[in-house]
Amino acid sequence: MASSIAAPQLLLLSHTLSFFKPNQNRHRLILQSECTHLNLRCSFHFKNTALLSASKFFRPLHAVLNSSTSLISKEEPNAKQKNDTSTLRAICQGHVPEHALSRLEEIGFVVPTDVQRQALPVLFSGRDCILHAQTGSGKTLAYLLLIYSVINPQRSAVQALIVVPTRELGMQVTKVARMLAPKPMDITVMALLDGGMLRRHKSWLKAEPPTIIVATIASLCQMLEKHIFKLEAMQVLVIDEVDFMFNSSKQVSSLRKLLTIYSSCNNRQTVFASASIPQHRRFLHDCIQQKWTKNDVIHVHVNPIEPMPSRLQHRFLTCSKKQRHQTLLSLLQTDAPKSGIIFVGEQSEKSKKAGNAPPTTLLIDFLKTSYGGCSDILLLEEGMNFNLRAASLTEVKQGGSYILVATDIAARGVDLPETTHIYNFDLPRTAIDYLHRAGRTGRKPFSDEECYVTNIIMPEEHFVLQRYENELMFKCEELIL
Which residues are near ligand ATP by CB under 6 A? 88, 109, 111-113, 116, 135-141, 275, 413, 415, 417, 439, 443, 445
Closest to ligand ATP by CB, 141 or 193: 141
Closest to ligand ATP by CB, 179 or 198: 179
- Min CB(439)–ligand ATP separation in Å: 5
Closest to ligand ATP by CB, 97 or 136: 136
CB distance 174 to 299 below 8 Å: no
- Min CB(436)–ligand ATP separation in Å: 7
- Min CB(128)–ligand ATP separation in Å: 18
Closest to ligand ATP by CB, 258 or 414: 414
Q: Which residues, 6+ apart, have CB-to-CB distance to 391 below 8 Å?
A: none
- For residue 399, the surrounding DSSP H or E stretch is none
Q: Is the omega angle on the peptide bond into residue 184 within 30 degrees of 0, that is, cis? A: yes
**Cα end-to-end distance, the chain, whole Å:** 60
Of 63, 80, 74, 59, the C-alpha closest to 28 is 74
- Min CB(114)–ligand ATP separation in Å: 10
- Min CB(270)–ligand ATP separation in Å: 17
Closest to ligand ATP by CB, 9 or 87: 87
Q: What is the DSSP string of 305-361?
A: T--S-TTEEEEEEE--GGGHHHHHHHHHHHH--SEEEEE-PPPPHHHHHTTPPPHHH
Closest to ligand ATP by CB, 121 or 383: 121
Closest to ligand ATP by CB, 140 or 318: 140
DSSP-assigned beta bridge partners for residue 456: 317
DSSP strand E in 355-472: where? 376-380, 402-406, 421-424, 451-457
Q: What whole-number distance in Å separates Cα of residue 421 and Cα of residue 413?
A: 16
- Min CB(104)–ligand ATP separation in Å: 8
- Min CB(397)–ligand ATP separation in Å: 11
> What is the 8-class DSSP label of residue 477?
E
